[in-house]
Structure 1
Amino acid sequence: MKKQHNWLDQDNIVAWIFLAPALILLSIFVFYPIIYLIYLSFTRGSFTVRGIHWVGLRNYIRLFSDPDFWQVVRNTIYFTVATVIPSIFIPLGLAVLLNQTIPLRGLLRTAFFLPSITSIVAVGLGFRWLFQTDGPVNNLLSLLGIDPIPWLSSTVWAMPVLILLSIWKQLGINLIVFLAGLQAIPISRYEAAELDGANEWAKFWHITLPGLQSTMIFVAITTAIFTLRSFEQVYVITGGGPLNSTNLLVYFIYEKAFADFEFGYAAAAATVLLGMAFLLVYWQLQSWREEN
C-alpha cells in the first residue's frame, strides 16, 4: 500500500520555515512586480490609483500596429543575433587557447575578464569618444588612406558600434564559463583520441564541441538575455538614433514610460519583453532536461 504524502509532517514544516524568507523576498521583489506589470499593461494613466483606467487590450492592439515598435523589434533581433554569435565563438576560441599551458596565461585570463567588471556607462563614454567623427578610430582610418566614417550619425554604422561594445563587455564572463566547461571534460577522452591518431582539429570537433554542448546553450541564452535588456549603451552612445536605427526594446520602454508618461503602453511592451525572456529560459530548461 502506497504511503500518503503528508504535507504537515515535521520535515516539510522545517523545510517551509527555511524557505519562507526566500519565498517572501521573491514574492516582494519578483512575483508582485511581474503581476503588477501585467496588470498595468491593461490600463492607461499614471501610477496613482485614481489615475489608472482599465482599457483592456487597447495597449497591445496599439503596440502591435505601431510601425515604430516593429522597427525596434527588428533592431533588437539584429542586435541580439549579431552579439550572441561572436560572443559564443570568440570566447570559445580564447578558452581553448587559454586552457593550454602558454606564457602569461593567468595575466591573459585577467585581461580578458576585465571588461566584465568595468562600468558599462564608463565604457560607453569611452566608445563614444573613440568613434566620434574626429575620434581616434577615424584618425587611424585616415592614416590608412580611408575616408572617415560617420559612425554615430549613420543609420548603417551606429548599430555595429553598440554590437562591438556588447561583445567586448560579454567576452570575459563567457570566457570563464567556457574554461569551466573545458575543465569538466575528462582528459582520458583526449588521451584515447591521441592513441587513435587524432589531430588537434579532430579532438576539438569530436570531443571538445560535444563536451561543451550544454555550456554553449547556457552561454547563448545568458548572452541573449543580456542583449535583450541592453539599455546603458544606447542611452550613453546614441540615444536610440539616428532615425531610430539603434532604438532597442528596453530603451523604447524607457522612453514611453518616462519621457511620454504612457505607463500602460510601456508596460505592454515590457510584458512582451518579459515573454521573450521566459521563452529563452524555457528553452534552456528543456535543453537541460533532454540531456539528463
Structure 2
Amino acid sequence: MARSQFLRLGDVFLSSIGVAWLFLLPALLFLTIFVFLPILYLVYLSFTTGSFSQEGVRWVGLQNYQQLLLSPDFWQVIGNTLYFTVATVLPTMVLPLLLAVGLNQGIKGRDLLRTAYFLPTMTSIVAVGLGFRWLFQTDGPVNQLVQAFGGQPIAWLSDPTWAMPVLILLSSWKQLGFNLVVFLAGLQTIPRDRYEAALLDGANAWQQFRYITLPGLRPTLVLVFVTTTIFTLRSFEQVYVVTGGGPLNTTNLLVFYIYQQAFGLFDFGYAAAAATLLLGVTLGLLWLQLRTRQDPHL
C-alpha cells in the first residue's frame, strides 16, 4: 500500500513537471529563436569576415578582435562611451534619489509631480532628439537665451567641446523619470519604524538618510545603476538624430560605431566583434545585479 502511494505521488510529480514544461515551451522557443540563436550567431560572426563580398563569410579567428584593439577610432569611441556613460549615470542616480526622498515626504501634489517627471520616459527618444536639435541649433532658443544675458552664440552641435554635453543632457532628462519611480518604490519598502526610532534617538535628516535610507536602498541603487548603465551603453537614437557621431567623431558612441561598421562599411565580422565586447560588458552588469540580489550585503 505504501509503495502504491509512493508511485502515485511520483506520477503526480512527473505529470506536474510535464505540465510546467509544456507551459514554458512557447517562451523557451521564442527565447531560443529570437535571443539565444542570434547571440550564438553574433559570436560566430565575430570570428569571420562576415561580409557580403565575393569571398563570402570566411573564418579569420581573432583577427577582428586584434583589429579592434589596434584601431585608434575604436579607442576614441570607447573613450567617448565611457565619458558619456559616467556623465549620464551619476546625475541620473543622484538627482532622482534626492527628488524621490522629497516626494516620499508626502508633499502636496506628489502624484502630479511623479507623473510629470515620468513623462520624458514615455516620450519617443527620436522625437526628443529632434526637439533638442531644434533647441540647440545655432539660431535656436538656447542661443537666443544666451544672447539675452549678453553672451555669444555657441555652436552647440558642431563644437567638439559642447556636442557631447548636449547628448548627456538629453539622455539624463530621458532617464530621470524612470529612476525616480524606481527609487520611490524602493523607499516604500523601508519600514517607517526605523525612522521613528531614529527620531527618538535624536538623529537629524542627514543621519537618517545616511544610516537608514541608503542602506535600505542598496538593492535599488544597484538596479538603477545597472539599468541606467545599460541604457547609456546602448544609446543610438540620440547620436543618429542629433549629431550623427560628429563633430570630428567626438560623439560617436559604441552602438553607433557598430552600426557604421556593419551597415555603412558592410564589415559585419568587425562589427560583430565590437558587439560581442558590448554583450560581455552587459552580461557582467547583469551578473552584478543578480549577485547583489542574492547577497544584499555586497
Using the size of structure 1 for normalisation, the TM-score is 0.95
Letter in 2 for 1:128: R
Per the alignment, in what secondary structure is the counterpart of residue 157 of structure 2? Answer: helix
Shift of 1:107: 1.2
Matched, 1:99 2:104: yes
> Does the 8 A contact of 2:68 with 2:274 survive in 1?
yes
Counterpart in the other structure of 2:233: 228
Counterpart in the other structure of 2:3: none
Shift of 1:38: 0.5
Matched, 1:14 2:15: no
After superposition, what is the alpha-carbon deviation per residue over 1:220-259, rounded to whole angstroms, capped at 9, x for unaligned? 0100000000000000000000000000000000000111
Letter in 2 for 1:273: L
Counterpart in the other structure of 1:57: 62
> Which residue of 163, 186, 197 corresponds with 2:191?
186
Matched, 1:131 2:136: yes
- TM-align CA RMSD: 1.9
> Which residue of 129, 153, 177 corresponds with 2:158?
153
Letter in 1 for 2:171: S
Matched, 1:289 2:286: no
Matched, 1:264 2:251: no
> Does the 8 A contact of 2:218 with 2:296 survive in 1?
no
Shift of 1:47: 5.9
After superposition, what is the alpha-carbon deviation per residue over 1:116-171, rounded to whole angstroms, capped at 9, x for unaligned? 00000000000011111111111111111122221111111100100000000001
Counterpart in the other structure of 2:177: 172
Counterpart in the other structure of 2:213: 208
Between the aligned partners of 1:71 and 1:291, the Cα distance in structure 2 is: 36
Matched, 1:245 2:245: no
Between the aligned partners of 2:236 and 2:230, the Cα distance in structure 1 is: 12
Deviates more, 1:16-25 or 1:43-52: 43-52
> Which residue of 40, 46, 53 corresponds with 2:51?
46
Shift of 1:14: 2.2
Per the alignment, in what secondary structure is the counterpart of residue 134 of structure 1? Answer: coil
Letter in 2 for 1:87: T
Per the alignment, in what secondary structure is the counterpart of residue 173 of structure 1? Answer: helix
Between the aligned partners of 1:49 and 1:205, the Cα distance in structure 2 is: 63
Letter in 1 for 2:221: M
Counterpart in the other structure of 2:113: 108
Percent of aligned pairs with the same amino acid: 65
Per the alignment, in what secondary structure is the counterpart of residue 139 of structure 1? Answer: helix
Shift of 1:49: 11
Between the aligned partners of 2:289 and 2:79, the Cα distance in structure 1 is: 23
Matched, 1:72 2:77: yes
Structure 2: stretches of 5+ with no match in the other structure: 1-9
> Which residue of 120, 123, 140 corresponds with 1:118?
123
Between the aligned partners of 1:45 and 1:111, the Cα distance in structure 2 is: 46
Counterpart in the other structure of 1:3: none
Deviates more, 1:105-114 or 1:225-234: 105-114
- Give the count of matched residue pairs: 288
1:49 to 1:189, Cα distance in 2 relative to 1, 3 A: farther
Structure 1: stretches of 5+ with no match in the other structure: 1-5
1:18 to 1:70, Cα distance in 2 relative to 1, 3 A: same
Counterpart in the other structure of 1:87: 92
Per the alignment, in what secondary structure is the counterpart of residue 54 of structure 1? Answer: coil
Shift of 1:58: 1.0
Counterpart in the other structure of 2:42: 37
Largest Rg, 1 or 2: 2
Between the aligned partners of 2:152 and 2:215, the Cα distance in structure 1 is: 45
Letter in 2 for 1:69: F
Letter in 2 for 1:145: G
